[in-house]
Amino acid sequence: MNENFPELGLSRSDCIESSWIESVLYWTAYYPPRTPSDVLLHRTPPSLTFLKRKSDYVKKPILKKNLSKIWKKMIELETPYMMFNPYGGKMWEISEKETPFPHRAGNLWKIQYLTNWKVSGFDAENHYIDLTRKLYNYMTPFFSRNPRQAYFNYRDVDLGINLHGKSSYLEGKAFGIKYFKGNFKRLVEIKTRVDPGNFFRNEQSIPVFTKQTA
């Protein structure tokens, strides 16, 4: 790290070596380093955390002057932050049609917008979700568009929900092409064959073709 990113000024004490499962405890459940993995057997979390997640894909480098503006916006909003996940390498060699996950060649990195809070209630929920949306909206000029793409694992109901009525396909397409791009219709065809009654569904599940949409 010091050879490639000397400006970070990292020392060995800043780094934590861990197994994969230890990293899951640290990053997703906020347990301190070296927490035994059998803590996963406990059904009560150490604290109650509410959260909101959104995502973006970056196809062109962001100019340094624009990064400065982004940092200022984050300071203004205080709570939301971003996590960058680099893409490229082997991912660029796999066709976006080979698996349902399409975000391959051309993406430099993925951004996850994160906001966590511990205060319950609608007022707190609306406040922190609004902060996340403000950061996401501010970032609009820098990211993929037509459609603006998103990562399926960070479920974002802001992109749309499916009520599974007569407009099920169109409702599903609103968020489906952002998650799956050109693979969305193929996923609908598969879903229609294996679950024609749409028994397995949620607010952002793949819809089925009906007589109106087939």
- Look up 154 and say whether it is catalytic: yes
- The tens digit of pLDDT for each residue in 43-90 reads 777 777 899 999 999 999 989 899 999 999 999 999 999 999 999 898
Alpha helices in 86-159, H assignment, sequence order: 122-138
DSSP 8-state assignment for residue 166: T
Q: Which of 30, 154, 169, 179 is catalytic?
A: 154
Distance CA 102, CA 181 (A): 7
Distance CA 41, CA 48 (A): 17
- The tens digit of pLDDT for each residue in 159-205 reads 999 999 889 999 999 999 999 999 999 999 999 999 999 999 999 99
